[in-house]
Homo-oligomer: A and B are copies of this chain.
Amino acid sequence: MDAKRIIKELGLKATPKRMAILEILSEEFVYLGPEEIWRRLQARFKRIGLPTVYRNLEELSHGEVIMKIIHPNRKLYYYYCNNTNHHHHFVCIACRKVQDLEFCGEEHIIKEVEGALGGKVVSHLFQVYGLCRECSHANAISL
């Protein structure tokens, strides 16, 4: 993961904080919220503002590797994913781990919308929630 290159490709300056945010996310297998990322940054930087974290996450999510997780609780979460093919995610509701899914069904959707409904598909949101292999074997579940 070349943080500097990824940031440059977005037309942004490679500031230490921006790179640290990208690195923190790239080292995680789970999605993180802005405050959680901010807490981790505080170990590396003695002065780091929460608005900086929000701003950078939003900017980074315009690229290919940082994805927003759409969560039913309506808070912001981000996840590092370097799979550049179109795909969706399986999100573990217990441990927050995110795994890639191959299935999408985009062609079916487009066929139905553009055929039967006569509309035009712009984007689609597809996310699967559940328990990952490890968590489905444990018994205590806390969403």
State whether the Cβ of A105 lies closer than 8 Å to any Cβ in chain B: yes
Are A93 and B122 within 8 A (Cβ)? yes
Are B117 and A123 within 8 A (Cβ)? no
Chain B: CB-nearest residue to A127: B125
State whether the Cβ of A130 lies closer than 8 Å to any Cβ in chain B: yes
Number of copies of this kind of chain in the complex: 2
- Interface 0/1 of A95-122, CB less than 8 Å to B: 0000101110100110011000111111
Residues of chain A having any CB pair with chain B under 8 Å:
70, 72, 74-76, 90, 92-93, 99, 101-103, 105, 108-109, 112-113, 117-133, 135-136
What 4 A-B pairs have minimum CB-CB distances, sorted nearest first? A118-B133, A122-B130, A121-B130, A105-B105
